[in-house]
Amino acid sequence: MENKEISILDYIYIAVKWRKLIIVNFFLFCLIMAGYSLICSKTYTSVAILMPPSSGNSLISSVLSSLPFGGFGLGKGGDETDSFLAILKSRTIMESVVDRFDLTTRYEVENMEKAVRKLQKRVDFRLQEEGTVLIESNVITKFLPEEKDVEEARRLVSDMTNFFISEMDRLNSELKTTQARYHRELIEKRYLQNLEDIGQAEQDLKAFQEKYEAIDLPVQLEEGIKAAAQIKAQLMAAEVQLGTMKSFMESNSPQVRKVETQIKELRAVLRGMKYGGNIDMDTRLFPVFSDAPELGVRYLQLRREMEVQHTLYEFLIQQYEQAKLQEMKDTPTVQILDAAIPPIKRSAPKRALMVASAGFMSLILSFFIILIAEYINMVRASTTGEAEKWSMITREVFGKKK
């Protein structure tokens, strides 16, 4: 047998020769697939898009962000969408949806665990580039669905999607309320402790003032120094006067004794102001100079403690009131940009794609059939030996002729 090069014309000839088979197979496959697409299970998809509230509405986030180092990365608004996705994917939400729509019966499974696994395969939650959260649910009808089955699936898929939103909002609100209550209890505990600390600081300062007659210690020390200077000046003048009087008077004269007595009293007053002791009430208005450093430090400590507690009180009372408002707040935690609605068209199967795929497969199948048939014809037209081999193969496969 001579080898002959096959040209494009030969392919065209073969296609024209087998055109009936190609056309029949093509339309047969397309019709079968089109018919199947009419009776097979249909999938309906419903989508909702959510936007989380701004992070500025979160009391705890604002409190944490005001702490050094930004609250160590806690309470950031960017975590809100991550919380939404975590709640949507949680077993709690999935079981609520299964119970609400009796999906155990619809999916024809024995228990909740299997129903949840099937539901997880038919829903999708993802974060979009714009920062919104997309919720997608799918419901599949039974095989050979009736019109009522289609309407039920369309209604069910939108109801499921919206129920995901409401359940997520409910659970998120509960979590936030629990967190707000914990925060309020924490602030309240610290606030009550602060009230006790303020009372103790005030009592300590009062006791110090009563013990040392320290109404306003810095002012009293300043005035005490001025008074001591005046007494010292009087003492020096009296000593000069005494020296002058002794120069022309007897030591036991009444005038000299009077000045000496005055000098003794002034010295006693100065000694009392410096070291303490039995002095009159007027001089006790001024603190003892020898105790001034220690008293000054203690006084500053007490005043500082009271000021710190009052400053802390001003901060805590604001946070306490805000925490109580946050705990009582009952507002939605999500903003619905696009609510789920019953879909008009099915999302699967794609009939045009199925028919086109069937037509393409028919062409491939026809190609193999033609290839085999042409090869058989070529063998039969070749040498006798090859024809006998082919006849033997045919007899062995399809049975011997009698």
pLDDT at position 183, please? 87
Q: What is the pLDDT of residues 148-190, one digit of tens each?
A: 999 999 999 999 999 999 999 999 888 888 888 888 889 999 9
Q: What is the pLDDT of residues 31-52, one digit of tens each?
A: 988 888 888 889 999 999 998 7
- Assess whether 167 and 224 both reside in one domain: no
190: in domain: yes
Where does residue 341 rank: exposed (0-12), middle (13-18), buried (19+ CB within 10 A)? middle
- Assess whether 118 and 243 both reside in one domain: no
Q: What is the pLDDT of residues 246-285, one digit of tens each?
A: 777 777 777 777 877 887 777 777 666 665 555 554 445 5
- Assess whether 47 and 137 both reside in one domain: yes
Strands, E, within 141-260: which ranges? Answer: none
Q: What does pTM read for this prediction?
A: 0.60
Specify whether the CB–CB gap between 401 and 395 falls below 8 A: yes
80: in domain: yes
399: in domain: no
- Assess whether 218 and 206 both reside in one domain: no
Q: Report percent pLDDT > 90 for the chain.
A: 25
- Assess whether 177 and 57 both reside in one domain: yes
Neighbours of 98 (CB within 10 A): 22
Look up the domain containing 172 and give its range: 43-211+330-346
- Assess whether 119 and 49 both reside in one domain: yes
User: Structural domain tally of the chain?
Assistant: 3
Lowest model confidence (mean pLDDT) among 54-58, 118-122, 368-372, 389-393: 54-58
259: in domain: yes
Average pLDDT score, the chain:
79
324: in domain: no
Please give the full DSSP string across 72-124, using - where no structure is assigned.
GG-S-TTHHHHHHHHHHTSHHHHHHHHHHHTHHHHTT-SSHHHHHHHHHHTEE
- Assess whether 181 and 52 both reside in one domain: yes
- Assess whether 197 and 96 both reside in one domain: yes
In what helix (H) or strand (E) does residue 332 lie, and over which residues does it extend?
none
- Assess whether 206 and 216 both reside in one domain: no
Strand 133-140: give its sheet, edge to edge. 123-127, 133-140, 43-51, 335-338
72: in domain: yes
145: preceding bond cis by omega (within 30 degrees) = no
Identify the bridge partners of residue 48 per DSSP, sorted by sequence position: 135
pLDDT at position 9, please? 77
- Assess whether 286 and 374 both reside in one domain: no
Residue owning tokens 């090859």: 386
Helix or strand or coil: residue 276?
coil
Lowest model confidence (mean pLDDT) among 181-190, 227-236, 284-293, 379-388: 284-293
pLDDT at position 75, please? 44
197: in domain: yes
Residue 226 has pLDDT above 70, yes or no: no
pLDDT at position 237, please? 77
Residue 288 has pLDDT above 90, yes or no: no
400: in domain: no
- Assess whether 197 and 219 both reside in one domain: no
- Assess whether 249 and 379 both reside in one domain: no
